[in-house]
Structure 1
Amino acid sequence: MKRGLLLNSRVSSVISKMGHTDSLTIADAGLPIPDSTERIDLALKAGIPAFSDVLSTVLSELCVERVVLANEIKDFNPTGLKEIENIINRYEKESGFTITIEFMPHENFKHETTASNAVIRTGEIKPYANIILYSGVVF
């Protein structure tokens, strides 16, 4: 059995195949997922698993250099944005890597997910609790 924090074999497999600048999306329960993109559905019921738990766990395995969020999170889910910023700050302190945070309109965000290696669907039901992670390099 794997010893690390991330036990989900499909998520672990996607991360292991990612190269520099490849992307992985973590989504709330409502984000539309393109048919052309691999869907890893972790949602069990409203709020489980929480977006923040999935993000923290994925960041324990993936080297990330930049993230993209929807502009709308600033107005419609400022608490969620603060939680994401706290998780990223903790990641930066623990890993020594710096993550650039970018924002775009939600419609553009949805289009951008089509290029993701996969979309991980959480049980999160807070608005705009979605993030695209872009892989960095560990050297």
Structure 2
Amino acid sequence: MLKGIPAILSPDLMKVLMEMGHGDEIVLADGNFPSASHTQNLLRCDGHGIPALLEAILKFFPLDTYVEHPVTLMDVVEGEPFQPTIWQDFEKVIQEEHGPALQMEYLDRFTFYERAKKAYAIVATGEAAQYANIILKKGVVK
């Protein structure tokens, strides 16, 4: 064990976060996301929710400040009367680390899937909330 690293971050996940370079993306996927079929670099984080994982990752992971939207969410399918409350949890965690100026992008389901296929890695979680999928774009350490 190492001091100061949250137990929710596995050695494999820390390795991936360190391997990633500026502009690389990582997907934190909810339990409904087709993770295994969308990547060759799958990490398991079963039993954990995305807000706790996001909080732990953002302690070490710089978001890209050179793009308009370093955080991308899967938008609700058009016509569905559902408003994800987990997005508020994401905003709170992100604002605590990066301030309120950061703007998130929302992509429709199939555009999100295509973007996820190009990500450096996908982290499959046990998150039960719907529309909890999130993409983070890595920045540089300043």
Q: TM-score, normalised by structure 2?
A: 0.83
Number of positions where the alignment pairs a residue of Structure 1 with one of Structure 2? 132
Shift of 1:64: 1.1
The answer to whether the Cα contact below 8 Å between 1:52 and 1:84 also exists between their aligned partners in 2 is yes
Correspondence 1:2-13 to 2 at 5 A: 2-6=2-6, 7-13=9-15
- Give the direction of change, closer, same or farther, for the CA distance of 1:77–1:36 in structure 2 (3 Å limit): same
Counting aligned pairs with the same residue, the percent is 27
CA 1:128/1:9 → structure 2, altered by over 3 Å: closer, same or farther? same
Change (3 A) 1:85 1:116: same
1:105 to 101, 105, 108: 108
Q: 1:126 aligns with which of 121, 126, 129?
A: 129
Higher helix share: 1
Name which of 13, 22, 29 aligns with 2:31: 29
SS in 1 for 2:85: helix
Q: Which residue number in structure 1 is paired with residue 54 of structure 2?
A: 55
- The answer for unaligned runs of 5 or more in structure 1 is none
Q: 1:138 deviation in Å?
A: 1.4
Listed one character per residue, the Cα deviations across residues 88-124 of structure 1 (whole Å, up to 9, x for unaligned) are 111114xxx9643111101111111111111111111
Normalising by structure 1, we get a TM-score of: 0.85
1:68 is aligned to: 72
Structure 2 unmatched runs, 5+: 65-69
